[in-house]
Amino acid sequence: MKVSAQNLHAFCVQALTQVGVGEPDARTAADVLVTTDTWGTFTHGTKALRAYIRRLRGGGLKKKGVPKVASEGPAWAMVDGDSSLGMVSSVFAMNLAMAKAATAGIAFAGLRNNCHYGAAGYYAAMAIEKNMIGFSMANDIPTVNAPGARGSVMGRNPFGFAAPAGNEKPILLDMATSTVAGGKVFAAAALGKTIPGQWLLDANAKPTTDPTLFSHAASLTPLGGYKGYGIAFMIEVLSAILTGAAIRRQVLSWTFSDASKPTGHGAAFIAINIASFRPVEQFKQRMDQMIREIRASEKADGADRIYLPGEMEWERREKALIEGIDLPEDVAASLRGLAEDLNLDFDRFLR
């Protein structure tokens, strides 16, 4: 199913405002979710809107929540998300980090009392227009195995990084610290497909290709084994232990838990003001140089191209903004289900 980014954005705004979210916050959330879909990262885009609205209607997310600064210094801040939409509180926190970095050179903003915030890369990418380098990370409920363990030990704990370039496209990294994001496993289950054997471990820590076992009877494998496990631990420290957010099993599932309760997620954002360290144009020229050197590297047999981090996403976005977003079946089904929940005419937005 194909829909324009503009119409999909309008649907998200209408759905959110209909359940009581103010229009500015609804537009912020829609910006994050629709941008994510234009990147082709459908597991973290508008597909999640139905679950967010379930929590808004249940009270676990506050329709009129207002993120606020709990404490701060010249180059740091701690933000209380007030159980508002994760996209709203995270945009607030990243904007705060960038504002402080503009004068301090580098700044950290921690966020507690948050919820699932969608794609980590969105918040990191906010730094690009400010000629800054951005980092974003968050914790989640344990769904990922650790080497030697049976069952889940850490969350998928996503990480985002973005840096501007000159004539080349900006660099954008958005990744889970599991081998794949859990959303890809849920998507495979919804479509009745099997998955690669390296994605999941069953209750006995043995590889399985059955996505329906996740997450009640299977755990995701950590990215690169102990390396992904270690990075996930680092993210838990920065986004939860340091910020005062819920830790590991204290975090509630944003999709399956009691919708009347806050999930307690934490997040962390870092902004680096390039101009504080060297001339911005010099930095961008050096970025372009490295990008071009990598692209010109000798290609393996059968490879047509060497992609830079984020290059696929930017190209998909350019195409989606012109031709429309081609939504996968599971995303379309979720949006149609939401429209039925709210008595909205989803087909009207396809015209």
* pLDDT score recorded for residue 272: 98
Q: Work out the burial of residue 196: count CB atoms within 10 Å of its CB; fewer than 13 is exposed, 13-18 middle, 19 or more buried.
A: exposed
What is the DSSP secondary-structure string of 50-86?
HHHHHHHHHTSS-TT---EEEEEETTEEEEE-TT--H
Instruction: Indicate whether 271 and 341 sit together in one domain.
Output: no
What CATH number has the domain bearing residue 276?
3.30.1370.60
Q: Give a yes or no: residue 301 inside a domain.
A: no
- Residues 76 and 19 grouped into a single domain: no
pLDDT value at position 351?
63
Q: Are residues 239 and 265 in the same domain?
A: yes
**pLDDT score of 197:** 92
CA 96 – CA 108 distance, rounded (Å): 9
Number of domains forming the structure of the chain: 3
**φ, ψ (nearest 5 deg) of residue 79:** -115, 135
Neighbour-count burial for 232-247, b at 16+ CB within 10 Å, e otherwise: beebbebbbeebbbbb
pLDDT given at position 312: 97
Residues 152 and 256 in one domain: yes
Is position 235 within any domain?
Answer: yes
State whether 3 and 33 are in the same domain: yes
Query: Do 151 and 256 fall within a single domain?
Result: yes
208 shares its domain with 315: no
Same-domain status, 282 and 325: no
Listed as ranges, residues in the chain with pLDDT below 50 are none
Same domain, residue pair 198 and 116:
no
- Backbone φ and ψ for 50, nearest 5 degrees, come out as -60, -40
Domain that holds residue 99: 66-178+223-296
C-beta separation of 338 from 49 below 8 A: yes
Query: Which structure tokens are listed for 92?
Result: 């607030």
Q: Can you give the CATH number for the domain in which 5 is found? A: 1.10.1530.10
Catalytic residue IDs? 116
Last residue of a domain, one of 221, 255, 280: 221
Strands (DSSP E) found in the chain: 2-3, 68-73, 76-80, 106-114, 132-138, 159-163, 171-175, 200-202, 207-208, 218-220, 265-273, 325-326
End-to-end alpha carbon distance in the chain: 12
Asked, for residue 303, whether it belongs to a domain, the answer is no
pLDDT at 175: 95
Same domain, 46 and 148: no
Global pTM value = 0.94
Same domain, 234 and 188: no
Residues paired with residue 106 on neighbouring β-strands, in sequence order:
272
Q: Is residue 141 part of a domain?
A: yes
Query: Are 201 and 118 in the same domain?
Result: no
The residues pairing with 308 across neighbouring beta strands, listed in sequence order, are none
Distance from C-alpha of 335 to C-alpha of 3, rounded to nearest angstrom: 12
Query: Which tokens is 70 given?
Result: 């709990």
